[in-house]
Amino acid sequence: MDKVVVIVGPTSTGKSDIAIKLAEELNGEIVNADSMQVYRGMDIGTAKPTREDFEKVPHHLFDICDLTERFSAGEYAKRASKTIKEILSRGKLPVVVGGTGLYTQALIFGFFEEDNVDKSAEKSLKKTISIMGTEYLYSFLEKIDPDFAQRINPSDTQRILRGLTFYFSTGRPLSSMWEKTKPLLDNVEFIVIGLKADREKLYEAINLRVDRMITAGLLNEVKTLYSQYSDRELHPFKAIGYRELISYIEGEITLTKAINDIKKNTRRFAKRQMTWFKNKPIKWFEVDPLNKKIPFDEIKDYIKIELAKNKE
């Protein structure tokens, strides 16, 4: 049976660094599972691997979308499954890495096509969101589908509309459909490992990373993208780091508040990521992101043991 390594966990735990080292030592290739790293130009704010990282081992599904394109979890599962098959055909080990739970769930467990969506309901909800705001509809989503709501960003207009439109079209919460999915990859075993950290250390590491992003030129990156795509309602501009700095660019808040909001929202995002991955079949490893301590040898040995099991 073919094996695929999947690395998950909250932001700032060092998933990308681990993935690169594992790919180097285990003859692997990296497959992205971060919903914002698929977009071209969103580099600093998404902590996308650097050019030097890309040169170390092959990377896939990075920089594949324009900011105006919609890229769903279902589309990701299709593209990732195809990529994984190609990697396996070369005798290499696919190493999937990212913190977008919807993506890894769609890849591992499958997804379903929403064929019976009521377009009139979607249109009505879009009108409501323009009048009442995203926060209002998110609070409503929390009531009718708390399972789905807790796993998405409260400012993710696209997914909020998706959850509500499905509910008003079918009378069922979107999360209820996850049990009826079928994975696209047959005869493949996923070795899923997670990186977790002490909350206080993780939060401090997040704050320091945001400071590094600002120093590295995140504001200029956002200014450049926003000058090219002036529609702040684009899905990628809802990402943490981008929406706050767009508010600053528009003169709505100060730069200091924008930076503090990025830190606060990233910490909240990390908490939601841990909620998503809780109770999933994941082998967890404790890391210290503040002091960059990662039990790499322990992780590598665990994966090597799993790879050796049930070899045909």
Domain range annotation of the chain:
2-111+181-308, 119-179
Looking at domain 119-179, does it have CATH number 3.40.50.300? no
**154 annotated to bind ligand:** no
State pLDDT tens for residues 251-270: 999 999 999 999 999 999 99
| Global confidence as pTM | 0.83
Confidence of residue 178 (pLDDT cuts 50, 70, 90): low
**10 annotated to bind ligand:** yes
Copy the structure tokens of residue 207: 């704050």
State pLDDT tens for residues 278-291: 878 899 999 999 98
For residue 50, give the DSSP letter: P
**176 annotated to bind ligand:** no
**83 annotated to bind ligand:** no
First to last CA, the chain: 7
**11 annotated to bind ligand:** yes
Hey, what CATH topology would domain 2-111+181-308 get? Answer: Rossmann fold (3.40.50)
State pLDDT tens for residues 230-249: 999 999 999 999 999 999 99
**The pLDDT value given to residue 114:** 59
Sheet containing 28-32: give its strands across.
59-60, 28-32, 93-97, 2-8, 188-197, 283-287
**The pLDDT value given to residue 229:** 95
Copy the structure tokens of residue 94: 């696919």
Place of tokens 């709501």: 149
Confidence of residue 125 (pLDDT cuts 50, 70, 90): confident
**72 annotated to bind ligand:** no
**13 annotated to bind ligand:** yes
**The pLDDT value given to residue 212:** 98
User: In sequence order, what are the beta bridge partners of 283?
Assistant: 193
